[in-house]
Amino acid sequence: MVDLVDMTSARRNRSSRAESSPVRSATGESALGETVRADFPILARRFGGQPLVYLDNAATAQKPQRVLDAIVDHYAAANSNVGRGYYRLSHLATDVYEQARETVRRAIGAEHPDEVVFVPGTTAAVNLLADTLGRDLVGGGDQVAVTGMEHNSNLLPWRRLCESVGAELVVVPADERGRVSAEDFAAALGPRVKLAAITHVSNVLGTVNPVRDMIAHAHRHDVPVVVDGAQAVPHRPVDVRDLDADFYVFSGHKVYGPMGIGVLYGRRDLLHRLEPYQVGGGTVKGVSTTEPVRYVPAPARLEAGTPHIAGAVGLAAAFDYLDELGWDTIREHDETLVLAAVDAVGAVPGVRVVGDPAADPNGIVSIVVDGIHPYDVGGHLDAHGIAVRSGVHCANTFVDTFGVVGTVRLSFGIYNTLAEVELVRDALRTVTPGTWTTEHPTERFL
Ligand SMILES: Cc1ncc(COP(=O)(O)O)c(C=O)c1O
């Protein structure tokens, strides 16, 4: 257990050891942030005269002009419904939508485009799977395995499934540094486990799980695995076939795409076994008043109603954009910023880095500040134009294991810079306890 954040401890003098040296990283410089910033119109905004330092990318990433243009162009030139009209504009929209599916297929290394289901996001994908795959595979007395670091969106749907069918949720705990080992996960895979749902990367600490090994262990027990890739896809090239994932889900808005679109990848044989989650337009081959309803195959059987066509188009534009920047460059940039933040921010008196983000950097550095509520730290940083998330990050049970009321999460994107890390470090030197610390020292909300 990491020490409890002591809300009453005397504040250390943060400024006594203040240095104004520029922030450096063990991996040197990264020019990516400066190069791409101009592509993101929102980064030109100022708050109270200060430039926006956007470090809440794990919650949602900003959108490059390319993505905004793709959405506007779609509505301006190709808008109509898909797969429903026998006229050229509808054929065009259908083609554009299916091209977007193909782009996503390529981006995640899936074998067939029909393994890519467009959904509203990660939460929607996990709920879909819990209500279809889960109900198919899990019954009374069975078990579903998850890790101790799941976001509520990859925890509560499985918990509710277990409660409703009389199954048990087995939680493989993380260690004191916020890691889950493949061996501990394997040890939990008893004969009653029928399904596993694991996050690829923790949204609180940025810990990268050994998902490939975990999946291999699960498959030795014939247990299919759902991977929550919401925090992985924006930061690393993901190949679902290399991972041998049965299902892999993520949200478009965290990967520089639009809100309201996400992806549920499913291995073809498994996806085709799923019953429709919702029924309605677009899912059926034939409906009559006397015969049983005949459903079309996946992905359409899982995309009832009018899909988010412009969202899919925007997401494809985001993947094209990232592809052009190059994943090696993105990975190096990520590493540069994370290592720099761990060193620079972690050296501010009273600041502690939680977990071990430098072990395999993935854009997230979570900190706590001695004696100061995370909301007060968030408010202080905001006063300096710095946007971060403070609290439990929708992972209440994981944050509990660290004995803290919450953390302050710095989460980096492709447009962030070492100069911004420096601004965070300098701002943290002057943070003092505020209303939250004095009036709600142990209360949490988010
Ligand atoms: C690891 C993880 N899983 C799931 C989600 C839920 O994503 P969404 O709100 O886009 O459905 C998030 C969002 O923060 C996340 O970080």
Minimum-distance ligand 1 atom for the alpha carbon of 262: 10
Ligand 1 pocket, CB under 6 A: 59, 121-123, 151, 153-154, 199, 203, 228, 230-231, 251
From the CA of 125, how far away is ligand 1's center (Å)? 10
Say what the pTM is. Answer: 0.94
Is 162 among the catalytic positions? no
- One digit per residue, the tens of pLDDT, for the chain of length 446 reads 333 343 334 344 444 444 567 777 777 777 899 999 999 999 999 998 999 999 999 999 999 999 999 999 999 999 999 987 899 999 999 999 999 999 999 999 999 999 999 999 999 999 999 999 999 999 999 999 999 999 999 999 999 999 999 999 999 999 999 999 999 999 999 999 999 999 999 999 999 999 999 999 999 999 999 999 999 999 999 999 999 999 999 999 999 999 999 999 999 999 999 999 999 999 999 899 999 999 999 999 999 999 999 999 999 999 999 999 999 999 999 999 999 999 999 999 999 999 999 999 999 999 999 999 999 999 999 999 999 999 999 999 999 999 899 999 999 999 999 999 999 999 999 999 999 999 988 887 76
What is the best residue among 152, 203, 399 to mutate for testing ligand 1's pocket, by most ligand atoms within 8 Å of CB?
A: 203
Considering the candidates 36, 146, 394, 427, report the single residue annotated as catalytic.
394
From the CA of 145, how far away is ligand 1's center (Å)? 19
- Domains, the chain, in order of start with CATH, read 9-60+326-439 (3.90.1150.10), 66-324 (3.40.640.10)
HEC assignment per residue over the chain: CCCCCCCCCCCCCHHHHCCCCCCCCCCCCCCHHHHHHHHCHHHHCEECCEECEECECCCCCCCCHHHHHHHHHHHHHCCCCCCCCCCHHHHHHHHHHHHHHHHHHHHHCCCCHHHEEEECCHHHHHHHHHHHHHHHHCCCCCEEEEECCCCHHHCHHHHHHHHHHCCEEEEECCCCCCCCCHHHHHHCCCCCEEEEEEECECCCCCCECCHHHHHHHHHHCCCCEEEECCCCCCCCCCCHHHHCCCEEEEEHHHHCCCCCCEEEEECHHHHCCCCCCCCCCCCEEECCCCCCCEECCCCHHHCCCCCCHHHHHHHHHHHHHHHHHCHHHHHHHHHHHHHHHHHHHHCCCCEEEECCCCCCCCCEEEEEECCECHHHHHHHHHHCCEECEEECCCCHHHHHCCCCCCEEEEECCCCCCHHHHHHHHHHHCCCCCCHHHHHCCCCCCC
From the CA of 122, how far away is ligand 1's center (Å)? 6
